[in-house]
Amino acid sequence: MENLLLKPQVLLLTYTDSNNCTNDSTISVKVIQTDASFTSLRTNNVYCYDGGTDVITVETDTSIIASGIFSGAGLTQVDSASFVFDPVAAGQGTHTITYDYFNMVGTPFTITTNLYVDSIGLVDFIGMADEYCVTSANAQMTALAPPGGTSAWTGPDPGFFYNNRTGTLQPTLLSPGFYDITYLYTSSTGLCQASVTRQVEINALPVVNFTIRPIFNVAEAPVTLSGTPAQGTFSGIGVSPADSTFNPATAGIRLDLPVTYTYTDTNYCTNSITKTVDIVSSDAAFTSLRPNSVYCYDGGTDLIIVETDTSVIASGTFTGAGVTQVDSASFIFDPVTAGQGTRKITYSYYNLVGTPFTITTNLYVDSIGMVDFIGMADEYCVTSTNAQMTALAPPGGTSAWTGPDPGFFFSNRTGTLQPTLLSPGFYDINYEYTSQKGICKASVTKQVEINALPVVDFTIRPIFNVSETPVTLSGNPA
């Protein structure tokens, strides 16, 4: 600071002694102001509480300081013209620093300055977890800082935005990894700042998968599902989450049924995968069957084939009495080997994606057994009385006869030959039995001969004497 020279002053000293002798003395003096000032002060004399200590010095323009003493809170004197200022020791607020000094001629001076300690205190933010999943909802953070001042945040871009004391993390915009979130507070003086940085981890979703056939048979047994990683949960119509089973029968016949596997990892990140399946019934059928699936015991073997509408048979097995498998979709049925009665034939097969199916059919082996008729002799005379025949056949069914017409008639199991209506000769009498199923038949044919009457004659006189001796007669044939 430039010296301020005031108007020179002349001091006159007049003295009269005891002898009444008087003398005087005149001295000229200067009256000046201090030219000392505090230097190396921080901007606007503001000291941040946590900004560390500073050395503050007093300097003069022209005068020389002979000695000086500093006083005030938070200071430690270094020498006659400097001191260390400690904001922490001084404490928050305005502190007056006083400097009393003497120049080389012993002139005392005092200068003062005010130092402001800006104590921000706690700066933090809350509301952010240590980690999030890439699918997590936005996380909102709130700054903890003194009133006033200004706030600023830094974080990943994109993936983070802020407004004053609120910061928002957007995990869905971030790739897996570690990110720093920093909150910076600047006090109302604009000179002191405090910040806090925290790291957040964005976790990837677990990679999940499961295997399931695209096609299920509505009649097949429940199947156990498994996913990777293990310990996830299955859901969907027909799914039992408790034991991870899928029951096609519960789902019912439908197309594009969604089945979902959901897994949560140790980071509490959840991911799921959904696949669709079709629930169908078998479209396979036994073909080339005999009418009403009835096979006559003595009717010989048959080739029976299984065909499908749309699916392709990968493999198949036939089981049942009288079955000899030919290939994966056909077999030969032998009624004799199967035996009389109803025989259940089962066909178990898989389509190309491994879906199991089973279809069944019942084949009936109709074994009629013995068919005959009794009551007819080998031959009759043209004058013989009617001959009645009785059929021998299993119960039920229907009976039919054939024979000469006229000369034969029947009713159900009884046939009647009428020799008197027949000319001499040979005739076939046929009895046919049709079983109750109306499919299998058995018949028996027997031949009968109708004989003509013999031509007879004899010779005798037309008149005899009542008293003549007996005469011998002779006929022809003899």
Give the CATH number, domain containing residue 34: 2.60.40.10
Per-residue b or e along 198-223, where b marks 16 or more CB atoms closer than 10 Å to that residue's CB? eebebbebbebebebbebbbbebeee
Whether residue 427 sits in one domain with residue 380: yes
Q: Of 91, 119, 147, which one is at a domain's C-terminal end? A: 119
Dihedral over Cα of 319, 320, 324, 328: its sign: negative
Mean pLDDT value across residues 322-335? 96
Residue 110 in domain: yes
The pLDDT of residue 368:
87
CA distance 27 to 29: 6
Residue 466 in domain: no
Whether residue 291 sits in one domain with residue 350: yes
Residue 461 in domain: no
Q: Of 228, 258, 280, which one is at a domain's C-terminal end? A: 280
The pLDDT of residue 300:
93
CA distance 196 to 405: 124
- DSSP states of 225-240 as a string? --EESSS-EEESTTEE
Mean pLDDT value across residues 471-475? 91
Task: Work out the burial of residue 351: count CB atoms within 10 Å of its CB; fewer than 13 is exposed, 13-18 middle, 19 or more buried.
Answer: buried
Nearest alpha-carbon partner for 340 in 436, 444, 431? 436
Mean pLDDT value across residues 187-202? 94
Place 16 in a pLDDT band, splitting at 50, 70 and 90. Answer: confident
Q: Of 234, 255, 280, which one is at a domain's C-terminal end? A: 280
Q: How many distinct structural domains can be found in the chain?
A: 5
Residue 432 in domain: yes
Whether residue 311 sits in one domain with residue 275: no
Mean pLDDT value across residues 102-131? 93
The pLDDT of residue 29:
66
**Does the pLDDT of residue 3 top 50, yes or no?**
no
Tens of pLDDT, residue by residue over 255-298, are 999 999 999 999 999 999 999 999 999 999 999 999 999 999 98
Task: Judge whether 58 and 64 are in contact, CB under 8 Å.
Answer: no
Residue 425 in domain: yes
- Give kind and range of the element (H or E) at residue 250: helix 248-251
Domain containing 264: what range?
209-280
Whether residue 23 sits in one domain with residue 113: yes
Average pLDDT, the chain: 93
Mean pLDDT value across residues 96-123? 93
Mean pLDDT value across residues 206-221? 96
For residue 336, the 8-state DSSP code is H
Q: What is the distance of C-alpha 150 from the center of its chain? A: 49
Whether residue 290 sits in one domain with residue 272: no
Tens of pLDDT, residue by residue over 135-161, are 999 999 999 999 999 999 999 999 999
With H, G, I as helix, E, B as strand and everything else as coil, classify residue 228: strand
Nearest alpha-carbon partner for 82 in 68, 96, 64? 68
Whether residue 84 sits in one domain with residue 18: yes
- Pairing status of strand 254-264 against strand 284-287: unpaired
**Does the pLDDT of residue 224 top 70, yes or no?**
yes
Task: Judge whether 131 and 202 are in contact, CB under 8 Å.
Answer: yes
Whether residue 100 sits in one domain with residue 14: yes
CA distance 151 to 185: 5
Token readout for 432 is: 């046919």
For residue 338, the 8-state DSSP code is H
Listed range (26-30, 38-42, 166-170) with the worst mean pLDDT: 26-30
The pLDDT of residue 2:
41
Residue 339 in domain: yes
Phi first, then psi, for residue 450 (nearest 5°) are -105, 115
Whether residue 244 sits in one domain with residue 131: no
Whether residue 92 sits in one domain with residue 20: yes
The pLDDT of residue 6:
54
Residue 335 in domain: yes
Place 246 in a pLDDT band, splitting at 50, 70 and 90. Answer: very high
Residue 159 in domain: yes
Mean pLDDT value across residues 328-353? 95
Task: Judge whether 416 and 410 are in contact, CB under 8 Å.
Answer: yes
Place 28 in a pLDDT band, splitting at 50, 70 and 90. Answer: confident
Mean pLDDT value across residues 76-104? 95
Place 248 in a pLDDT band, splitting at 50, 70 and 90. Answer: very high
Provide the CATH number for the domain around residue 270: 2.60.40
